[in-house]
Each structure stands twice: as C-alpha cells, then as structure tokens.
Amino acid sequence: MTVCSTHRVGHDLVCYTVSRDLSKTPNSNVFIFVLIFACFRNSIGICLSLILVIWNIWTWANQTQSESISVIRGLGIQISSKTRMGRETCCLFDSSRIEDVVINEGISLWRVRYYLAIILKDSENLKLVFPETFPGIEQLVEIYHGTRALLFGNQELGFHSRASSQH
C-alpha cells in the first residue's frame, strides 16, 4: 500500500512524497533458512543458512521506503529516494534540461503500471520518478498537474516541445 503526501512551501516549491508500508512485508526466507538448517546439520547447512541470513538482512535494509519529487519554479526537479536504513539518494535536473513531464504506462505479462517520467533534452532515456513505490494513477495525475504548473507556468497541457519554448 502506498501513501502520497504533498508539502507546499509558498508558491515556488512543492514536494510530493510516496511512501509504502514495509511493516507487513512477508519474510519467506525464514522458512527456507529453517529448512536448510534442518536438512544439512553440518558445516554446509550452517554456511548456507548464514549466507541466507546475511542476504535477508541486506535486502531488508535496502528496500525503498519512500520516494519524492520536489519541484522548484525556475530551478528544476529533485528526485530522491530513501531506504529502510535511511540511505538517501538525490538527483537534481535543471529546468533548462527538462523537455517534458509525462505519465506513461508499462505493460508486462500480467499487469499495466502507470508511471511518471521526465523527458530530458540531452538524453534518449526517460527518467522515472517513482520506480519502486508505484503510486496509483489518481496520485500520478495530481503530481503531474502540480509539476507541470510549476515548471511550465500557464502553458496548455500537452507536449512541451523545444519549438514552443523558443517562441
């Protein structure tokens, strides 16, 4: 389950944070740990169990707890993510590099996921804003409109092309 919160500071800064509840994450590796230890009651079983415990702690600590996008009028966008253990990564995109902000969809075998992405002028790849938390489409639409309003002002919604920005 994801929770979206909005924090607005004046007219020039807004921060959207998407958090997920990790307290109810099932821990299926404990069963495998017990099974390996019960089957191999020797040094191999102990080593395999120890490796599994270390792997379990590592993956638990590195789960993304929250992701946020901060939009600053005239400056650009900062994307950040925070893990369970508090490690935070940030990336700042200057407004002169941002061509557009879009909602796109990714289709896999069993599901369709909507995501917010930034199109950069100097890159062929999209920069995903919430690659781990996957907020719902209603939340993405709200974030999309707020982001575009701060970045591009009163321009109509639609593709913000280089040609329209040069006029």
How many independent structural domains does the chain possess?
Answer: 2
d(CA 66, CA 24): 15
- Residues of the chain with confidence (pLDDT) below 50: 156-167
Q: Which helix (H) or strand (E) holds 20?
A: strand 13-20
Find the CATH number of the domain harbouring 136. Answer: 2.30.29
Q: Would you state the structure tokens that stand for residue 17, as one six-digit string?
A: 């944070």
Q: What residue has token string 């938390």?
A: 133
The answer to whether residues 116 and 85 belong to one domain is: yes
Which residues is 81 bridged to in the sheet? 67, 89
The answer to whether residues 85 and 122 belong to one domain is: yes
The answer to whether residues 38 and 94 belong to one domain is: no
Residue range of the domain that includes 141: 2-20+67-166
Please state, rounded to an integer, the average pLDDT across all residues of the chain. 84
Q: Write down the pTM of the prediction.
A: 0.77
The answer to whether residues 109 and 155 belong to one domain is: yes
The answer to whether residues 104 and 159 belong to one domain is: yes
The answer to whether residues 153 and 119 belong to one domain is: yes
Q: What is the pLDDT of residues 13-33, one digit of tens each?
A: 999 999 987 765 555 566 666
For the chain, the 3-state helix, strand and coil shares in percent, each to the nearest 5, are: 30, 35, 30
The answer to whether residues 35 and 74 belong to one domain is: no
Query: What is the C-alpha end-to-end distance of the chain, expressed in Å?
Result: 44
Q: What is the pLDDT of residues 62-79, one digit of tens each?
A: 889 999 999 999 999 999
